[in-house]
Amino acid sequence: MIGHFDWAGGREAMLRLGPDAGAVVIVALPAFEEANRTRTFAVTVMRALATGGIGSVLPDLPGTNDSLMRTEDATLAGWRAAFAAAARATGARWSVAIRSGALIDAEAELAGRWQLAPQDGAGLCRELDRLRQAGSGASDDTVEIAGNRVSGALLDELRPAVPSTARVVRLASDAQPADLKLDGPPLWRRAEPDNDPGFAAVLARDIAAWIGG
């Protein structure tokens, strides 16, 4: 079901799956191009949660997806405020974040946070710096990164940002510490959007057990 939520900066769309009553999780996609690569996968995780009786919502953040806000006007503070508003509006008590989505849930009042391969702001900005290119429409205030016009102010906000304390799940190939490591594909690294329903089902089972525990 496609719905909407209001926040201080306006109104944004959201996707809602699963039952209206009971546990509800709110999903945070990674920033910029990784959001496009992982959105279908995230929705597959949401569908798997729904079969287990857990509802979920995936909000559009200001300046992303179908938002009417220009990408260059997006800020981390705005993302966090909108995410918190979406959680309040839907009664979501748990967050599920992928990669740099773990930087977005800081202001939401949640019972718990679950993160897949969380990335801090410094790591995100290092990757963005490698992708940065001189865009024809760029100005002193914006830069073009992989086709996205991004404000320098947003990058300044992102660099020191760190994920909130959470249950951390990482791929088995990742040397960083985690509460659980699983064999799975780094879909955020793929050249095109991709999906893995089997891995999504594994993650949904872990999320459900975590919420139930």
Residue linked to tokens 């799956």: 17
DSSP state of 73: G
What letters, b where the CB count within 10 A reaches 16 and e where it falls short, cover 175-196? eeebeebeebeebbeeeeeebe
Distance (Å, whole) CA 24 – CA 133? 40
Whole-number average pLDDT of the chain: 92
Distance (Å, whole) CA 130 – CA 7? 33
Q: In this predicted model, what pLDDT tens digit does every residue of 84-133 receive, in sequence order?
A: 999 999 999 999 999 999 999 999 999 999 999 999 999 999 988 877 75
Higher pLDDT, 83 or 144: 83
Does this model's pTM top 0.85? yes
Q: In this predicted model, what pLDDT tens digit does every residue of 170-209 receive, in sequence order?
A: 999 999 999 999 999 999 999 899 999 999 999 999 999 9
**Domains defined along the chain, listed by start:** 2-120+162-212 (3.40.50.1820)
Q: Is 207 exposed, middle or buried (0-12, 13-18, 19+ CB in 10 A)?
A: buried
Q: In the chain, which ranges are continuous DSSP H helix?
A: 33-51, 76-90, 121-131, 152-158, 197-212
Tokens standing for 120?
């801090």
Position 146 scores a pLDDT of 65
Higher pLDDT, 146 or 48: 48
pLDDT value at 138 more than 50:
no
